[in-house]
Structure 1
Amino acid sequence: MPDSSAGPCQHETDASFERLTRLYLENADAVDLAVGSHNMRSIAHAIAVREELGLPQAQLEFQTLYGMAAPLARALTDRGERARIYMPFGELIPGMAYLVRRLLENTSNESFLRQSLSGDEAPEALLADPARPEAGAAAPTVGVSDRPPFRNEPPTDFALAEAREKFSAALASVRSEFDRHYPLLIGGDSVETLAQIVSLNPSRPAEIVGRTASASPEDVDRAVAAAEAAFPGWRDRGVAERARVLGTAADLLRGRRAELAAWIVYEAGKPWREADADVAEAIDFIEYYRAQAVTLLAPERLGGLQGEVNDYLREPLGVVAVIAPWNFPLAILTGMTSAALVTGNTVVMKPAEQTPVIAAKLAALLHEAGLPPGVVNYVPGAGEVAGAALVDHPRVRLIAFTGSREVGTRIYAAAARAARGSRHLKKVLAEMGGKNAVIVDDDADLDESVQGILASSFGYAGQKCSACSRVIAVGRVYERLIERLVEGARTVPVGPADQPATIVGPVIDAESQERIRGYIELGKRLARPALIRDVPPDLAGLNGYYVAPAVFADVPVTCPLALEEIFGPVLSVMQAESFEAALELAMDSDYALTGGVFSRSAAHLAAARERFRVGNLYINRPITGAIVGRQPFGGLQMSGVGYHAGGPDHLIQFVEGRVISENTLRRGFASDRLA
């Protein structure tokens, strides 16, 4: 399919528009095309392609805006073309921004529309082929971080019957593999333990997804020893070979995408699209990091003095402990693991207790891709046992952790204590959650705002560290926004994760369910309940860990609902008198992970860019769904420490620098030293 994105130059955008016009007209049996444009060349091109393909005149519709390009609309109707004229109507005040935009387009001396309709432009200029820009036209801009080998993995389109049928078959196949046992993997060997972890399906907890071994401190010690023994060989393979092996792993993930997503549906309770995106993100992490590593790890020659050579090397650290969360059981686990591996480190992988089966699948896949024994070791276990042993181990060089603030701060403190026998200080990368706010300005597009907030708050039952849990409405938009949010939240589908329509599936376990219910009861006492939905009665027989969406208004700034990470489908709405006050309220938090602003005001958006200091700020869009390479993800303050995952700086944390300086002005020559 032709590139549908707008280019940085007008001619690029026009050329892309024409490619898409031809594509749709070539498929006129499946698509009805309407061309909404005031660009004479674009309109003429559409007519020419229609005639070239022998399509009837009625096959194509043109759309223009009332009060703009009236001569163009008349010319179309005079030709007998289907022409639709759009005219805005509605409330006056919200419509003023639209009116001002139209006035500027009609009256600005630099307006493309005004220039093209002035009668002063030569026909040759108006109809110039955008695919052949004039000499001297601006060249496409290419950012320094653009890397042609990397492309994001596209999401599965479940609107297609074929995709739905394939995933339904994968769900059925995976269900037939429930309740199998998965051992530890240490040094390439399977290791059994007396203790076990039983993984349940949160949609139907009576179903056992699988059972895994549960590592003891002794098992962890053996895993670290295996990783340490494998380190020199893996380090010395070189970045190109390591990238090749990881590329094989990415290909295996692609080939088993539906199967792995099905495991995520059952074990993590993620709905279809969320589970599919989890696998796509895992592939993205591998492909992005292996492309980055080839450049990052190339030796650098520094200086330029005669008689002196200075080489700067970036080399791996050693054994990396990867402690992963349950809410992105494949994506984050794969991201942290692949970052460590491609830079030449070896890994001891401890997944969350709620999702050990998906991690077992990843460990097996990595070995199938060609990782030598001991390079990746799989040690599921209790956090206070296996996790603590891994954090305290003297031969672990780096801890990559994603999880709660409580656990993350304990890890950070423990890592700072140099263990007996250790010859280094541990590094810690930690992502620890957020209390994320979305500001809705008084001039914001409410349709866009409500849609973005609902997706950010209730997708995957709010169990994302990036999820929106606070909404701050500016001025008079407050009550209208609450009304719209309530109506939207009332209709969000709640159900088992394996049902394709589900948006709000179960929360991860019974402990989380009780904790979230406690916050809802607290909200009833301390705030104004705008919506407290009951779990649909047809789910009662499943005994799943369901919590339906809840929306609270008039939430006091000191209320726990406004301060604490809930990690569930609970939304708090507050009012600010001004945009300045909204910014202060948004930043009044220990956390600073994600945030969002919906506004039409350029001045307010500029202020947000400067003062809304969170790791990821999203403007006029949802605040969840960061994409590797496009929106690197990470937090500030108590939301974490370390460079953003999926970004250009992330891999630097997995290496250390070394300088070799040689004086090449030798005195004398010893030939017997050549051998």
Structure 2
Amino acid sequence: MFDPPYESATQAIARQLLAATRENRSFLAQMRDQMRWDDKLLGWAMSNPGLRVQLFRFIDCLPALRSKAEIARHLQEYLGEESVELPPTLKTLLNFAHPDSMPGQIAATTVSTAVETLAHKYISGERISQVIKTIERLRKERMAFTVDLLGEAVITETEAQMYLDRYLELITWLTEAAKSWSQVEAIDRADGEVLPQVQISVKLTAFYSQFDPLDVQGSRERVTEKIRVLLRRAQALGAAVHFDMEQYMFKDLTLAILKDLLLEEEFRTRSDIGVTLQAYLRDSQPDLQGLITWAKQRGTPVTVRLVKGAYWDQETIKSAQKDWPQPVYAQKSSTDANFEAMTRLLLENHEYLYAAIGSHNVRTQAHAIAIAESLQVPRRRIELQVLYGMADKLAKALVDRGYRVRVYCPYGELIPGMAYLIRRLLENTANSSFLRQNLEERPVEELLAAPVMADGEAQKQSLVPIELPFHNVPDMDYANAQQRDRALKAIQSIRQQLGKTYWPLVNGAPMPTLETIDSVNPSNPAEVIGKVGLLSVEQAEQAVQAAKAAFPGWKNTPATQRAAILRQAATLMLQRRDELAAWIVLETGKPLNEANGEVSEAIDFCRYYADEMERLDQGVAYDFPGETNHYRYQPRGICVVISPWNFPLAIPTGMAVAALVAGNCTLLKPAETSSVITAKLTEILVEAGMPQGVFQHVPGRGSVVGAYLVKHRDVHMITFTGSQEVGCRIYADAALLQPGQKHLKRVVAEMGGKNAIIIDESADLDQAVQGVVHSAFGYSGQKCSACSRVVVLASVYEVFLNRLIEAARSLNVGPADAPGTGMGPVIDAEAQERIRAYIEQGRTEAEVALEMPASAIGYFVGPVIFANVLPTAKLAQEEIFGPVLAVMKAQTFDQALTIANGTPYALTGGLYSRTPSHIEKAQAEFEVGNLYINRGITGAIVARQPFGGFKLSGVGSKAGGPDYLLQFLEPRVVTENIQRQGFAPIAGAD
């Protein structure tokens, strides 16, 4: 993709620039033996990949550590000889017996000082006075600047307002300081035009804590007003504003907001505004072309800062985890080639867009210069940019060549700046980094070779890092406008289908009933989703007899045929996924983002259990001389599935299809409040080819029909998900041998939890607060896996609690079908009253830290947080199943584990920690079926995180795991003596 017309000029300019960057290299070589510790750390990281990982993980953790002893302990945990091979100097430094010893103190001081020194290389100042001093030095070197605030991980609306206020204050300080600056012709004027001396760089997402591509209108409204305030102040004081780009998911919405805003009459003639594009994105060229078209319409240029991109690892990991097409180029050469193509496109349209070429690659900058000089691009319309502390010699060489050079200057404290520092260290030490390759004195021809687009890179592709035995279906990506619009339209479409009557399915036909109930929208109970017929006991008996009659044929149906029906059901779900998500939103009040994941889970259950049954159907052969031994499985018989409302599609699908593919005839009795969705599941299973009598949809009163089916003598198995009270009753009833019953019933029961997340002193609190809020208040706390307790170590308790309160306060509580809703209603009036009763009980046990108001229309309960909760309180012991969170304090990590384990439940748990020994201890001692470390505790994925607990959280194997189907099968062994008159076939003989 390089352009031959500019290649010879690019090579010539690049060689000149490269020579300038390599001056005094021999002097540096002489000083190598006297390197400071910060240089040693970088050198070791470049030479040892294993040490690089552990060292950077320690650096990430360092700002959270509050004493020299903690630093010394973490040094040994991260860099101990068991973790990685150490250079002799570092091994000697870490050779201390106790973290609080004098050698430990020395090691902690040495390394922490080195890391601070490293940080100060890339961060222009922790205080504004330091930044101004840095800027004034840069101006003396004839370099312009742009200042960026570090730590914009905005997770509360308080922080979003603080972000705006800090930038308004920053503009004031900088423009005030600028009054005393003498003019520097190279950077303050161009083509007779006076340029702003002050420029700031901001990130759009930091203006609104709930910025969400699904909520286009809400995000636009909340962000745009803050941008207007910022741009007005900047104009009044004479400062320029540049908008940075972040993760891919925010790109399209960011560009759309800026394009609309900058067409407003007030801002349309402003040329002191810029936007960033990232060349590592496969769709960055179309984005640039779109900006060119837009700029022609606008009539006044803005600046496009072209960078390669800083989130490559994050984007590749996220796309792999979600099975989404990879948005970034896989090869560095492809990014470089795309960058050069975009540079040419940008400079060829310099009358519409100004170019800011951000790169530390000598060839990249030389290529831009070659094009600019060939096209005679005016100096106002191009500038070259570098990051503070990187490529200083290149920047000087560019200045000496007569170009305006701007230095990107991050500013802020070390803790919020740590993520930025890690990105810079990764860039400096990566094998593909130009800076590293130049430092290693690679051959000039290799360094300056024209980049080439790798084969197959032009189209977005899915990237799976390892060969997986099972591939999960991707969730819908609501950052994609087409997918988002289709999902939102489905909700409106479904609204035209409300109010229909859904009869039970018995023996392959709808069965009218005397009793019906209205299934209503929890966000608006006046909206009837559908009428559902409820079976009588007599009708339930007909269903049992139909299943009994169908069982022999289904049992003898080959497993491959049963699996094929499940795969067809998965295909139908995939085709109807937007519709199914819409039904979930409207009938159970689950916001669309979460309904999206639930449909994926249902599809995964169908496909995974189909695969698993075919595997199990092969059986196991143990052959010995003279005999064969075959270990095989057969179905149990009739299975009753009693499903909950909180996962109205995924859980009934998983339980039902597991029973069906194993060869059991299955009766699905759903929760009354989600029976329309299970009626839709029934439609899909019938269309997929499920024979009559094999699967039946039997909605009915749990206390009547449910109890009757559990006790029925012809039922072989009950699979239940719901409350502990009902689950224990089912377990007891199923254990009673009924007259004429010739088998013992199998019960698989998942009965909820009182799930805890531990936050220790080394935790990333940005990550921890977001994870706890999502885990506690996602779907209004109505997941069996939801976080209802947080155990926080005392040293970080107050800081964590304050941010947690503000983050929960920032949630948008409203109707589930509103795109901006972060938390919807609870399921019904009974749940609402039960939760409110627990809140009143909680007032007598603990301190109310937050109680958010909620709409009187619908079954809403706002987020509630109790602080200083005792481990023995009801709030800390009983499952509430609502948006109520108990926060407890622990003095030590061992005490935190004791508190977390101190309930009768053992379902899910979480830990936020960057201390290896704490992580190891939690893995061994945290009594939960699913332990999540440094992530939220909800959202288990089929085959990746098989789900289920023990103690009073349930009995049975994990759903979505390799042994789940075994519960629905009876194992048999058939042994045959194959001798005849003293002879037997020889194994393997023809």
Alignment of 1:465-544 (within 5 A): 465-535=784-854, 539-540=855-856, 542=857, 544=858
CA shift for structure 1 position 164: 3.9
Aligned length: 635
Does residue 296 (structure 1) correspond to residue 616 (structure 2)? The answer is yes
**Aligned match of 2:952:** 638
Q: Which has the higher contact order (CA 8 A, sep 6+)?
A: 1
**Aligned match of 2:340:** 51
Closer, same or farther: CA 65–586 of 1 in aligned 2, 3 Å: farther
CA shift for structure 1 position 45: 5.2
| Whole-Å separation in 1 of the counterparts to 2:672 and 2:656 | 17
| Whole-Å separation in 1 of the counterparts to 2:773 and 2:919 | 21
| Whole-Å separation in 2 of the counterparts to 1:82 and 1:637 | 65
SS in 1 for 2:844: helix
SS in 1 for 2:971: strand
| Whole-Å separation in 1 of the counterparts to 2:793 and 2:676 | 46
| Whole-Å separation in 1 of the counterparts to 2:395 and 2:977 | 77
Closer, same or farther: CA 451–47 of 1 in aligned 2, 3 Å: same
Give the one of 500, 507, 511 matched to 1:187.
507
> 5+ unaligned residues in a row in structure 1: which ranges?
1-8, 133-139, 670-675
Does residue 369 (structure 1) correspond to residue 688 (structure 2)? The answer is yes
| Whole-Å separation in 2 of the counterparts to 1:265 and 1:394 | 38
Give the one of 223, 229, 234 matched to 2:543.
223
1:523-559 residue CA offsets vs partner (Å, 9 max, x unmatched): 2222111111111xxx43x3x1110111111111111
Give the one of 706, 728, 732 matched to 1:409.
728
Does residue 342 (structure 1) correspond to residue 656 (structure 2)? The answer is no
CA shift for structure 1 position 220: 2.0
Which one-letter code corresponds to 2:744 in the other structure? Answer: L
Closer, same or farther: CA 87–399 of 1 in aligned 2, 3 Å: same
CA contact (8 A) 2:737 2:744 kept: yes
Closer, same or farther: CA 38–310 of 1 in aligned 2, 3 Å: closer
**Aligned match of 1:568:** 882
Give the one of 598, 612, 619 matched to 2:912.
598
| Whole-Å separation in 2 of the counterparts to 1:479 and 1:82 | 44
Does residue 586 (structure 1) correspond to residue 900 (structure 2)? The answer is yes
Closer, same or farther: CA 72–587 of 1 in aligned 2, 3 Å: farther
1:126-163 residue CA offsets vs partner (Å, 9 max, x unmatched): 9999999xxxxxxx9967xx32xx42222223334433
| Whole-Å separation in 2 of the counterparts to 1:159 and 1:48 | 26
CA shift for structure 1 position 514: 0.6
Give the one of 428, 440, 445 matched to 1:119.
440
Closer, same or farther: CA 184–519 of 1 in aligned 2, 3 Å: same
Alignment of 1:142-221 (within 5 A): 146-147=468-469, 150-221=470-541
SS in 1 for 2:473: coil
CA contact (8 A) 2:759 2:790 kept: yes
CA contact (8 A) 2:641 2:718 kept: yes
Does residue 460 (structure 1) correspond to residue 779 (structure 2)? The answer is yes
Which one-letter code corresponds to 2:659 in the other structure? Answer: A
Which one-letter code corresponds to 1:21 in the other structure? Answer: Y
1:239-269 residue CA offsets vs partner (Å, 9 max, x unmatched): 1111111111111111221222222112111
CA contact (8 A) 2:308 2:335 kept: no
CA contact (8 A) 2:337 2:452 kept: no
Moved more, 647-656 or 324-333: 647-656
Moved more, 496-505 or 155-164: 155-164
SS in 2 for 1:449: helix
| Whole-Å separation in 2 of the counterparts to 1:372 and 1:97 | 57
With the length of structure 1 as denominator, give the TM-score of the two structures: 0.85
Which one-letter code corresponds to 1:554 in the other structure? Answer: N
SS in 2 for 1:442: coil
Backbone CA RMSD of aligned residues: 3.6
1:26-66 residue CA offsets vs partner (Å, 9 max, x unmatched): 54536965333999x97665333433675458576448986
CA shift for structure 1 position 316: 1.4
Give the one of 308, 318, 325 matched to 1:34.
308
| Whole-Å separation in 1 of the counterparts to 2:909 and 2:636 | 34
| Whole-Å separation in 1 of the counterparts to 2:487 and 2:429 | 53
| Whole-Å separation in 1 of the counterparts to 2:281 and 2:862 | 46
CA shift for structure 1 position 500: 1.4
Moved more, 285-294 or 154-163: 154-163
**Aligned match of 1:332:** 651
Percent identity over the alignment? 49
SS in 1 for 2:529: strand
CA contact (8 A) 2:566 2:610 kept: yes
| Whole-Å separation in 1 of the counterparts to 2:528 and 2:571 | 29
Does residue 283 (structure 1) correspond to residue 603 (structure 2)? The answer is yes
CA contact (8 A) 1:61 1:84 kept: no
CA contact (8 A) 1:435 1:468 kept: yes
CA contact (8 A) 1:400 1:429 kept: yes
Q: Which has the higher helix share?
A: 2
Give the one of 267, 282, 287 matched to 2:587.
267
Which one-letter code corresponds to 1:268 in the other structure? Answer: T
Alignment of 1:406-445 (within 5 A): 406-445=725-764
Does residue 607 (structure 1) correspond to residue 921 (structure 2)? The answer is yes
SS in 1 for 2:743: coil
CA shift for structure 1 position 21: 3.1
SS in 1 for 2:785: coil
CA contact (8 A) 2:861 2:883 kept: yes
Which one-letter code corresponds to 1:119 in the other structure? Answer: E
CA contact (8 A) 1:197 1:212 kept: yes
Which one-letter code corresponds to 1:598 in the other structure? Answer: Y
Give the one of 923, 935, 956 matched to 1:621.
935
SS in 2 for 1:260: helix
Give the one of 307, 311, 316 matched to 2:630.
311
| Whole-Å separation in 1 of the counterparts to 2:680 and 2:926 | 40
CA shift for structure 1 position 216: 2.2
CA shift for structure 1 position 75: 9.0
CA shift for structure 1 position 84: 6.4
Closer, same or farther: CA 20–280 of 1 in aligned 2, 3 Å: farther
| Whole-Å separation in 2 of the counterparts to 1:291 and 1:74 | 62
Closer, same or farther: CA 96–255 of 1 in aligned 2, 3 Å: closer
> 5+ unaligned residues in a row in structure 2: which ranges?
1-48, 54-247, 249-277, 292-305, 314-329, 348-354, 361-385, 456-463, 984-990
| Whole-Å separation in 1 of the counterparts to 2:901 and 2:711 | 34
Which one-letter code corresponds to 2:522 in the other structure? Answer: P
| Whole-Å separation in 2 of the counterparts to 1:497 and 1:437 | 26
SS in 2 for 1:325: coil
SS in 1 for 2:779: helix
CA contact (8 A) 1:197 1:381 kept: no
| Whole-Å separation in 2 of the counterparts to 1:77 and 1:618 | 51
SS in 1 for 2:841: helix
Closer, same or farther: CA 183–43 of 1 in aligned 2, 3 Å: closer
Whichever of the two has the greater Rg, that structure is 2
Give the one of 660, 663, 669 matched to 2:977.
663
CA shift for structure 1 position 362: 1.1
Moved more, 219-228 or 557-566: 219-228
Does residue 251 (structure 1) correspond to residue 251 (structure 2)? The answer is no
1:164-218 residue CA offsets vs partner (Å, 9 max, x unmatched): 4323332233222222212221111222221222212211112222222212222
SS in 2 for 1:433: coil
CA contact (8 A) 1:202 1:509 kept: yes
Which one-letter code corresponds to 1:478 in the other structure? Answer: Y
Give the one of 446, 449, 454 matched to 2:765.
446
CA shift for structure 1 position 629: 1.6
**Aligned match of 1:90:** 413
CA shift for structure 1 position 642: 1.1
1:328-373 residue CA offsets vs partner (Å, 9 max, x unmatched): 0111000111111112111011000111111111112211111110
Which one-letter code corresponds to 1:587 in the other structure? Answer: N
**Aligned match of 2:158:** none
Which one-letter code corresponds to 1:604 in the other structure? Answer: H
